[in-house]
Amino acid sequence: MPPGKEFVRTVIKYDGSKAGLRRGLLAVRSGLTSDDVAEAGAALARRALELPELAQAGTVAAYVSVGREPGTRALLEALRRRGVRVLLPVLLEDNDLDWAAYEGPDRLVRAGRGLLEPDGPRLGPEAVTTADAVLLPGLAVDGRGMRLGRGGGSYDRVLARLERAGATPSRVVLLYDSEVIPEVPAEPHDGPVDAVVTPSGLRRFSR
């Protein structure tokens, strides 16, 4: 992404609910071009590796971006080339997540809901607890570090599993610049992430 380029910051009008905010954010994403997504993905990979928690990690739990999501594929390859063990989610029938090792783009297969998943052995839902850092998909984050997810609940289960296991990986969300917003509607069980990475830079939060 050229220096100084930033996706247009759009004022999203919504009814104050998570569902309304999700609709507004997804509408903005739908207007992005393939070039926008590719440029942002390359910039995100560079920025993300400025985080010591990722650059120095032995194991990272990540995900494969699809559609107009902020791109993760360049980052997945960069981590793999560094010798990082990358775990990718495998969606189960009950919306929970299993995990498998990332072994390159040619080892990804089409799965339900338009997702891409690794074709290797399944490691079990608890495999995420071995990660030094967890990349969380999201639609927005606010100044407190509160993250707005897609609403499926899969990553709520992941975060609850980490808490039960006493695991404390760094929790990082990748977003477009315009998706760092003043406030995300939060519920009592929601907790902040540790950092957000956008094409323009990094921001840390305190838990």
- pLDDT tens per residue, range 85-128: 999 999 999 999 999 999 999 999 999 888 999 999 999 999 99
* Residue 104, marked binder: no
* Residue 16, marked binder: no
d(CA 186, CA 17): 10
- Residue 58: phi and psi, rounded to 5, are -90, -35
* Residue 154, marked binder: yes
* Residue 18, marked binder: yes
* Residue 31, marked binder: no
- pLDDT score, position 17: 83
d(CA 203, CA 196): 5
* Residue 153, marked binder: yes
* Residue 80, marked binder: no
Mean pLDDT estimate for the chain: 91
* Residue 145, marked binder: no
CB 64 within 8 A of CB 72: yes
Domains of the chain: 18-204 (3.40.50.10420)
Q: Name which of 2-6, 75-79, 148-152, 176-180 the model is least confident about.
A: 2-6
* Residue 69, marked binder: yes
d(CA 69, CA 140): 11
* Residue 64, marked binder: yes
Task: Give residue-wise pLDDT tens across range 120-149.
Answer: 999 999 999 999 999 999 999 999 999 999
Instruction: Report how far apart, in Å, the C-alpha atoms of 192 and of each of 19, 146, 155 are.
Output: 19, 4, 13
Q: Check residue 167 and report its DSSP letter.
A: -
Q: Residue type at 163?
A: E
Interacting residues of 140 by C-beta distance below 8 A, sequence separation 6+ = 21, 25, 147, 148, 175, 179, 180, 181, 184
Q: Check residue 14 and report its DSSP letter.
A: -
* Residue 164, marked binder: no
Instruction: Report how far apart, in Å, the C-alpha atoms of 147 and of each of 89, 133, 179, 183, 188 are.
Output: 19, 16, 10, 10, 13
Instruction: State the pTM of this model.
Output: 0.91
